[in-house]
Chains A and B, each alone.
Chain A
């Protein structure tokens, strides 16, 4: 199977700069600077149909096109490597294997949108990816791919790393900009959108590690080639899936968008753990509603997963066997979101602990039938929050009510968790 992001991977160690260059690395950058205008680069990414890999799936080229063209003053590009969405570890694996794709992708993106100063925002605990990137940036500088007057083109780009100290909300793009500026990382109001007023009030683009790492292939091999890698005509490109939970191989793999959930679990994951049966999964990180055994034939792409009331999200699939208590799982997820709430707005700061308490009660066998209605109603209120964290937190709650109501009711009628022995 053709690989885009994992094509240079070496077993057990990161690819070296020399290997990357010998295998076609930085060819896209040379091509773009020699033959393409910034608009051509942007158009190629628009034509590729690539959608953002950070969770929301926004078309990448379109996002870039919102940056005003002729304003004086700086513009910024930020790579989002906060990756704190539970169940998600793809950006770490990618950067542990190959930091150069991101560096090249960021230089290309900076060229496309007229950026001279770009940042990579890295979470705490990702010291190895950070070290790999630091080395890659130095090497790119020495080879003349970064810094002033890149390859004699007159284009200049600087790339800085920012190491964070652990907080999920820093991954929200406007909170991230506050964090980077050294302010408390509460989200900012939108509008104005980052493309107009972002980092230090200047036009800013925020993209995920995986999104930016795909850009070199789109430029070197062409948008059509990228698009056609997907297994569905409507989809575009490859996607990193990182799988955890009750399967034999918990791997991070690059697969064509549109492979079915069942194909992923039975193929690269080697099926369920011995003696276990599939009950359900989270398809793409903590904020995405559950899928069940009814969805094993569902092709995994943005629109197809959205079509059954969930989201492709980050590609972080968490698999649960039939012994897993879905009330317990939802309680765990709600506890996470309540803990990571930044406290800025009331629906989230007060609402999530309230929902957590109800779920705690039900899980402990102290629930009453009315709790189910309260949960359903309260899940709606969370959508009135200031940023996308609380609406994301409703994902598992809403899906628990929709798909596993019988389990909820069993906790209440039996006055205990039926899965605890």
Chain B
């Protein structure tokens, strides 16, 4: 590293890992660590797809809606998952477990529709498989099925 502010993304990711999302407190703390003003951190925080400046569920689902996944039916999958979770795209389930977000190309275009859930990548997803994955992930959090 050449300058402290180079670490901005790493610092924001770590604070997000700690709080679950990048809270107002988190922004102030990041600013102190990086020697920036909170506004300068805000400018960065709002720029990136994977930095959450609003509360999210315990697990964030990023479902790719770019062209290759579109060709393989990601629109149907998004509708299915939204219905299954009972949220609009962008929303968080009532139990606070899942947030469902459409996202840009995940670099897994040959295996569409592709999805990232937390740090895990899922490929060639069908609605049935998506249901199973949601069930497994929900169980991991120790909550009972919705």
Contacts and interface: CB of A to CB of B under 8 A. Distances in A.
Nearest to A165: B48
A83 B5 CA distance: 23
A275 to B, nearest CB: 16
A242 B34 CA distance: 39
A296 interface: no
B49 A89 contact: no
A242 B107 CA distance: 10
A339 interface: yes
A166 B104 contact: yes
A127 B119 contact: yes
Contact of B110 (A83, A164, A244): A244
B119 to A, nearest CB: 7
Interface string B67-86: 11011100000000000000
Nearest to A124: B50
Nearest to A84: B105
A126 to B, nearest CB: 7
B68 A244 contact: yes
Contacts of B103: 166
A89 B107 contact: yes
Given A200-B2, A329-B70, A185 B47 contact: yes
A125 B106 contact: yes
Contact of A166 (B49, B108, B110): B49
Contacts of B5: 181-183
A92 B83 CA distance: 33
Interface in A215-273: 242-246, 250-252
B44 interface: yes
Given A84-B104, A163-B9, A250 B67 contact: no
Contact of A165 (B34, B50, B104, B107): B50
B49 A318 contact: no
B66 A332 contact: yes
Interface string A158-198: 00101111111000000000011111110000000000000
A342 B44 CA distance: 12
Given A89-B107, A163-B9, 18 more contacts: A86-B67, A86-B109, A87-B67, A88-B109, A91-B107, A117-B2, A124-B48, A167-B47, A182-B9, A200-B2, A200-B3, A244-B68, A244-B109, A318-B109, A328-B70, A332-B67, A336-B66, A336-B105
Interface string B1-12: 111111111101
A332 B102 CA distance: 13
Contacts of B133: none
B108 A89 contact: yes
Interface string B95-115: 000000001111111111000
